[in-house]
């Protein structure tokens, strides 16, 4: 099995299934905290998609996009935790 077939038949379907499950949690989440965690998970899975596609297509420039997206997701999580701290 080549690396491209492994990405096509194993990694991308697993990432797709995890995005579907995270979207279910995003829509079904009983509290806002559950929805924020699900949104953070969706962004992290998106970073996984970008990274896997970057490795598969041998385009290293996409890794920069993944790092910027990770930084934005981290800052969003920090802002939400700051909001929860000030809410109390």
pLDDT digits (tens, 9 = 90+) for 42-65: 999 999 999 999 999 999 999 999
Number of domains the chain is built from: 1
Structure tokens that stand for 33 in this block: 């905290």
Is residue 78 exposed (0-12), middle (13-18) or buried (19+ Cβ within 10 Å)?
A: exposed
Report the distance separating Cα 47 and Cα 21, nearest Å. 16
Contact partners, residue 30, CB within 8 Å, separation at least 6: none
Residue 72 · residue 57 · CB < 8 Å: no
For position 29, what pLDDT does the model report? 87
Structural domain of residue 59, as residue ranges?
A: 3-87
Rounded to 10 deg, the angle between the 32-57 and 12-28 helix axes is: 160
Query: Given pLDDT bands bounded at 50, 70 and 90, which one contains residue 67?
Result: very high
**pLDDT tens for each residue of 22-36:** 999 999 989 988 999
């Amino acid at each position: 099995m080549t690396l491209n077939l492994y990405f096509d038949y194993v990694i991308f379907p697993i990432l797709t299934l995890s995005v579907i499950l995270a979207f279910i949690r995003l829509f079904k989440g009983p509290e806002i905290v559950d929805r924020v965690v699900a949104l953070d998970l969706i962004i992290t899975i998106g970073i996984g998609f970008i990274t896997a596609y970057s490795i598969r297509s041998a385009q290293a420039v996409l890794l920069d996009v993944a790092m910027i997206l990770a930084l934005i997701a981290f800052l969003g999580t920090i802002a939400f935790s700051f909001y929860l701290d000030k809410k109390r």
